[in-house]
Amino acid sequence: MVHLVGSLRKELADSLSSCAVLVVGAGGIGCELLKNLVLTGFKNIEVIDLDTIDVSNLNRQFLFQKKHVGKSKAQVAKESALQFCPSANITAYHDSIMNPDYNVEFFRKFVLVMNALDNRAARNHVNRMCLAADIPLIESGTAGYLGQVSVIKKGMTECYECQPKPTQKTFPGCTIRNTPSEPIHCIVWAKYLFNQLFGEEDADQEVSPDTADPEAAWNPEETAARATASDKDGDIKRVSTKEWARSTGYDPVKLFNKLFKDDIMYLLTMDKLWKKRKAPTPLDWHQLENGGLSPLTVASPGLKDQQVLGVWGCCQLFQHSVETLRTQLQDRGDGAELVWDKDDPPAMDFVTAAANLRMHIFSMNMKSRFDVKSMAGNIIPAIATTNAVIAGLIVLEGLKILSGEIESCRSIFLNKCPNLRKKLLVPCILDPPSANCYVCASRPEVTVKLNVNKTAVLALQDRILKERFGMVAPDVQIEDGKGTILISSEEGETEANNNKFLSDFGIRNGSRLQADDFLQDYTLLINVLHTEELERDVEFEVVGEAPDKAPPPQTNQEEVNSITNGNKDSAQPSTSSKAPSDDDDIMIVDSDDEEEASSSSAAPATTGTKRKHPDAETGETSTKRPRTDQSNAAQDDDDDDIIALD
Q: Which residue(s) pair with 476 in the sheet?
A: 487, 515
DSSP 114: E
Secondary structure letter of residue 497 according to DSSP: G
Question: What is the pLDDT confidence band of residue 550, given thresholds at 50, 70 and 90?
Answer: very low
547 cis-preceded (ω within 30 degrees of 0): yes
Residue 96 assigned to a binding site: yes
**Residue 595 is assigned to a structural domain of this protein:** no
Residue range 266-292: average pLDDT? 88
User: How many other CB atoms are found less than 10 A from the CB of residue 320?
Assistant: 15
Spatial distance between the Cα atoms of 314 and 359, rounded to a whole number of angstroms: 11
437 annotated as a binding-site residue: yes
Domain CATH code at residue 470: 3.10.290.20
Last residue within a domain, chosen from 334, 357, 377: 377
pLDDT at 2: 57
The torsion angles phi and psi of 113, rounded to 5 degrees, stand at -120, 135
263 with 253: CB under 8 angstroms?
no
19 is in an annotated binding site: no
Cβ–Cβ < 8 Å for 68, 53: yes
| Helix%, strand%, coil% for the chain, nearest 5 | 35, 15, 50
Task: Choose among 636, 25, 518: nearest CA to 644.
Answer: 636
Confidence of residue 305 (pLDDT cuts 50, 70, 90): confident
3-state secondary structure (DSSP) of residue 480: coil
User: Angle CA(546)–CA(550)–CA(552) in degrees, nearest 5?
Assistant: 135
pLDDT of residue 219: 55
Q: Largest alpha-carbon pair distance within the chain?
A: 94
Verify that 370 and 467 share a domain, yes or no. Answer: no
Burial class for 415, CB neighbours closer than 10 Å (0-12, 13-18, 19+): middle
Residue 264, domain CATH: 1.10.10.520
Q: What's the start-to-end Cα distance of the chain, in Å?
A: 45
Name the most confidently modeled range: 453-457, 550-554, 639-643. Answer: 453-457
Q: Identify whether 323 is part of a domain.
A: yes
The answer to whether residues 130 and 198 belong to one domain is no
User: Is there a catalytic annotation at residue 186?
Assistant: no
Question: What is the percent of the chain where pLDDT is above 90?
Answer: 57
> 181 lies in a domain?
yes
Mean local confidence (pLDDT), 172-188: 90
* In a shared domain, residues 334 and 318: yes
pLDDT of residue 213: 66
Gap between the Cα atoms of 633 and 118, Å rounded:
9
Is the domain of 403 the same as that of 512?
no
Beta bridge partners of 563: 645
Say if residue 147 carries a ligand binding annotation. no
Nearest Cα to 566, choosing from 65, 139, 14?
139
The whole domain housing 477 covers 445-543
pLDDT mean over 256-264: 94
User: Are 266 and 213 within one domain?
Assistant: yes
Which burial class, exposed, middle or buried, applies to 202 when counting CB atoms under 10 A from its CB (0-12, 13-18, 19+)? exposed
Residues 397 and 372 in one domain: no
244 and 328 within one domain = yes
Q: Does the pLDDT at position 599 exceed 90? A: no
Report residue 387: phi and psi, to 5°: -60, -40
Which residues are within 8 A (CB) of 198 and not within 5 positions of it... i.e. 6 or more apart?
242, 325, 328, 329, 337, 338
Query: Which amino acid, one-letter code, is at 417?
Result: C
CA proximity to 118, closest of 628, 574, 581, 615: 574
Segment among 407-411, 515-519, 535-539 with least mean pLDDT = 535-539
Q: How high is the pLDDT of residue 227?
A: 45
Looking at the structure, tell me whether residues 177 and 298 fall in a common domain. yes
For residues 222 and 176, which has the higher predicted lDDT (pLDDT)?
A: 176
Residue 551 inside a domain? The answer is no
Give residue-wise pLDDT tens across range 89-146: 999 999 999 999 999 999 999 999 999 998 888 999 999 999 999 999 999 999 889 9
Element (H, E) at 112: strand 112-115
Region of poorest pLDDT, from 284-293, 410-419, 620-629: 620-629
How many domains does the chain contain in total? 3
Residue 103, domain CATH: 3.40.50.720
What letter would DSSP give residue 182?
S
257 CB contacts (<8 Å, ≥6 apart)?
A: 230, 234, 284, 285
pLDDT, residue 215, reads 65
Q: What is the mean pLDDT of residues 579-601?
A: 33
Q: Which of 31, 130, 174, 428 does the annotation list as catalytic?
A: 174
Separation of alpha carbons 390 and 32, rounded Å = 9
Residue 565, pLDDT above cutoff 80: no
Distances from the Cα of 3 to the Cα of 10, 41, 197, 295, angstroms: 6, 16, 68, 73
* Residue 119, domain member (yes or no): yes
Q: In this predicted structure, what is the pLDDT of residue 534?
A: 84
Helix, coil or strand: residue 569 = coil
Tell which residue, 603, 608, 564, 566, has the closest CA to residue 587.
603
The per-residue pLDDT for 609 is 38
Same domain (yes/no): 504, 399: no
Instruction: Quote the CA–CA distance of 453 and 581 in Å, as a whole number.
Output: 31
As a whole number, the mean pLDDT across the chain is 80
Q: How confident is the model at residue 597 (pLDDT cuts 50, 70, 90)?
A: very low
Which among 527, 543, 559 is the end of a domain? 543
Helices and strands in the chain: count of H runs, count of E runs:
17, 22
Residue where a domain stops, chosen among 496, 511, 543? 543
* SS3 call for 149: strand
CA distance 18 to 140: 24
In this structure, are 319 and 389 located in the same domain?
A: no
Question: Domain for residue 596, yes or no?
Answer: no
Average pLDDT over residues 374-392: 88
Considering the domain boundaries, does residue 245 fall inside one?
A: yes
Do 94 and 121 fall into the same domain? yes
Percent of the chain exceeding pLDDT 70 equals 76
Mean pLDDT comparison of 285-299, 390-404, 548-562, 589-603, highest-scoring range:
390-404
Identify whether 598 is part of a domain: no
- pLDDT band of residue 512 (cuts 50, 70, 90) is very high
pLDDT at 3 over 70: no
* pLDDT for position 214: 62
Shared domain check, 197 and 102 = no
Position 63 pLDDT exceeds 90: yes
**Residues with Cβ within 8 Å of residue 618, at least 6 apart in sequence:** 421
Q: 232 falls in which pLDDT band (50, 70, 90)?
A: very low
- 8 Å CB contact between 318 and 283: no
CB 535, CB 83: distance < 8 Å: no
